[in-house]
């Protein structure tokens, strides 16, 4: 597919994340207006509350954009999702007769503050990238036992905290927790010394279900995708994870990008999952190209210093797709809700510059990473800003996600004193 032209001039640039082909969904506010739903187009945001109020978008009998989240639209299902996208493309396309009505409803992005784009119902994080799982397993168990016996048969994961999902730009406070030193018998309660990031994609479930879903049904239930940073306290994790897995190590925060890129916008960029070493059971088998060709980059900027690129990889490196993750999640009869968020698991490629966490990049702290400033990192230091970005490349355009950024604040002096 080539670039679709818009009468919004900035949407026709090859460098914008938000051409007419994209039209991602977010929530924004301005000094003049409280938080409301918006659609990104070039360097502008279309005010959806105002668009609906003027009768330019009427998809149901009840308003869909009066609240500052996109859950109301999600609950309408794929037919209404498609109708909205078609209507927005007609309103914003080059030559549209609605330009005079729509243009006053556009807000410059430079004047807007972005907020959480949806209410997170539940949050599940997976461990579904083979390169990441192999690297981590090799560090802790040796290459011969890197992957657990179940790993090639199903996407493993854990239930996280919806309450700690935050939007890009929110600061991240270094957590306290129980840490176990190898030269001491007992743990100590201290701030994390091995705080890390994880490069992931997040899939947003758009339709509720109370029965097991096939892979195809699960794929159709996904509303869209965001960038996701699964902040991880590796030293807390190392002490707590046996026998039940991640808990407090992953509860500090999960950052997401503020724009939901729809499944429809990513459709031209579908790619196949990697070849299967072990055949999947029938309910998880691939039914077609299930992943997306999305280039991903992570930069790290020490406080007051320029940013250095520390990772460049691609979403196509995942072993399991979001549709397979969602299908597996439902097999027990677990109900899924509109607004559920599924983290992909860390996205790493086969080479060192493609690793999606500092745990891998520094090989557990044994191989410090040198930044462009000359500083080194094994894990994150106070004042560091991590920025995730990503886009799919089309012919003369790209489908971007904006950024997912967070800055590390020092641990509280005393976590029990307000």
Q: Which residues are catalytic?
A: 132
Tokens of 275: 């070849």
Tell me how far apart the alpha carbons of residues 348 and 317 are, in angstroms, rounded to a whole number: 7
Alpha-carbon torsion angle 127, 130, 134, 140, nearest 10: 0
Residue 210: closest CA among 198, 221, 197, 219 = 221
Burial class for 375, CB neighbours closer than 10 Å (0-12, 13-18, 19+): middle
Burial class for 117, CB neighbours closer than 10 Å (0-12, 13-18, 19+): buried
DSSP 52-77: HHTTS---SSS-SSSSSSSHHHHTT-
CA–chain centroid gap for 184, Å, is 38
- Strands (E) across 315-379 are located at 341-343, 369-370, 376-377
Tokens of 99: 């330009």
Q: Which residue has the tokens 């990473």?
A: 369
Helix (H) or strand (E) holding 393: strand 385-393
Cα distances (angstroms) measured from residue 150 to each of 154, 241, 347: 7, 17, 19
Q: Which residues pair with 159 in a beta bridge?
A: 124
Tell me how far apart the alpha carbons of residues 174 and 412 are, in angstroms, rounded to a whole number: 8
């Amino acid at each position: 597919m080539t670039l679709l032209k818009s009468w919004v001039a900035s949407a026709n640039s090859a460098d914008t994340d938000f051409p007419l082909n994209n039209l991602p969904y977010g929530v924004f506010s301005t000094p003049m207006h409280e938080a409301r739903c918006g659609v990104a187009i070039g360097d502008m945001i279309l005010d959806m509350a105002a668009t609906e109020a003027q009768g330019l978008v009427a998809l149901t009998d009840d308003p869909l954009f009066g609240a500052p989240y996109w859950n109301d639209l999600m609950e309408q299902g794929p037919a209404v999702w498609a109708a909205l996208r078609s209507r927005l493309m007609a309103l914003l396309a080059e030559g549209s007769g609605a330009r005079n009505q729509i243009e006053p409803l556009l807000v410059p992005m430079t004047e807007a503050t972005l907020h959480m784009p949806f209410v997170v119902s539940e949050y599940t994080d997976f461990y579904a990238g083979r390169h990441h799982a192999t690297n981590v397993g090799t560090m802790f168990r040796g290459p011969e036992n890197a992957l657990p016996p179940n790993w090639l048969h199903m996407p493993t994961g854990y239930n996280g905290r919806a309450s700690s999902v935050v939007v890009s730009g929110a600061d991240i406070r270094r957590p306290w927790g129980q840490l176990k030193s190898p030269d001491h018998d007992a743990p100590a309660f201290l701030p994390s010394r091995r705080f890390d990031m994880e490069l992931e994609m997040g899939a947003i479930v758009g339709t509720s279900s109370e029965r097991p879903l096939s892979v195809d049904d699960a794929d159709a239930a996904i509303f869209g995708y965001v960038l996701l940073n699964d902040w991880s306290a590796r030293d807390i994790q190392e002490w707590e994870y046996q026998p039940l897995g991640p808990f407090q190590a992953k509860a500090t925060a999960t950052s997401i990008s503020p724009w939901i890129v729809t499944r429809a916008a990513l459709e031209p960029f579908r790619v196949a999952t990697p070849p299967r070493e072990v055949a999947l059971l029938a309910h998880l088998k691939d039914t077609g190209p299930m992943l997306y060709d999305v280039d991903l980059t992570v930069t790290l900027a020490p406080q007051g210093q320029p940013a250095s690129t520390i990772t460049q990889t691609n979403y196509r490196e995942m072993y399991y797709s979001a549709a397979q993750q969602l299908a597996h999640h439902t097999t027990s009869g677990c109900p899924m809700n509109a607004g559920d968020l599924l983290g992909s698991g860390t996205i790493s490629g086969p080479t060192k510059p493609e690793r999606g966490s500092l745990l891998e990049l520094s090989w557990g702290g044994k191989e410090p990473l040198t930044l462009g400033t000359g500083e080194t990192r094994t894990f994150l230091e106070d004042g560091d800003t991590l920025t995730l970005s990503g886009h799919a490349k089309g012919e003369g355009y790209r489908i971007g996600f904006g950024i997912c950024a967070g800055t590390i604040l020092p641990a509280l002096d005393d976590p029990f004193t307000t």
